Amino acid sequence: LVECKCCFAGYRITKTESCPSGHMFCRRCIRTFANGKILQNQVDIGCPDVSGCGALFHPSTLQRSLPLSSYQRWEDLLQDREIRQAGVEHLESCPFCPFKMIVDTDKVQDPLFPCQNMRGGCGKVSCRECRREDHHPRTCEEEARRVANPRVAVEEAMSEALLRKCPGCEKAIIKDTGCNHIVCTDPHCRTHFCYLCRKDITDEQYRHFHRNVCSASFYE
């Protein structure tokens, strides 16, 4: 058995890894130690031996010891550092994930950053100025006040849930009372649409509520 230099327990050689200087550790201790460093956004993960070795673990050692998600996070941190050190001009990053891309337009001309990290489950659109999720047409200052005031945020969320856009002219409409057959208030549009499914029903009008799922909620 091989003694782990961290927990001092004995392990089969196949369950251990070594730093470049030969200090042996079980994979569980390497995983715990490395995860702590990664949570602190540290790229350099050195040997924790009490001798003060500090030799950096090889990427293959980390790959064998870490769960896939942790190792991928470490790779993202490494890539981020290498890009910053390379001094790539006009490089911008998504505030919600590690995705980066070159944006050579100014913020006034192109105020939004569209994350293309669909595989990583992000894909969010953010404001390049304040780095919050897209809040346009509100200004950054208005968004900051909205976020700072939970009551305003709740009221706006409720309003957005009630708000509908006319499929004909995109005019914003909120229904206070009455049935779900809506007629656009713009005199130049007057499109008929369903408040529930938001479909243009100008041609079918009330017949729409007699033959689909919206029929059960005419006055909802």
Nearest to 140 by CA among 160, 111, 113, 106: 111
Residue 186 domain-assigned (yes or no): yes
Where is the domain boundary, 148, 176, 200? Answer: 148
Share of the chain above pLDDT 70, in %: 90
- Is-cis flag, bond preceding 137, omega within 30? yes
pLDDT in tens, 53-112: 999 999 999 999 999 989 988 998 898 888 878 777 888 889 888 788 888 899 988 999
pLDDT in the model for residue 54: 93
pLDDT at 5 over 80: yes
What residues pair up with 155 in beta bridges, in sequence order? none
Same domain (yes/no): 120, 178: no
Same domain (yes/no): 72, 92: no
pLDDT in the model for residue 213: 65
pLDDT at 130 over 60: yes
Where is the domain boundary, 82, 108, 129? Answer: 82
More confident residue, 206 or 16: 16
Work out the mean pLDDT of the chain and round it to a whole number: 86
How many Å apart are CA 89 and CA 105, to the nearest integer? 12
Three-state secondary-structure class, residue 155: helix
How many domains is the chain partitioned into structurally?
3
pLDDT at 37 over 60: yes
Where is the domain boundary, 82, 107, 127? Answer: 82
Same domain (yes/no): 137, 169: no
How many Å apart are CA 136 and CA 131, to the nearest integer? 12
Q: At 8, which CATH number?
A: 3.30.40.10
Q: Please report which confidence band the pLDDT of residue 44 belongs to, taking 50, 70 and 90 as the band edges.
A: very high
| Domain membership of residue 194 as a residue range | 164-217
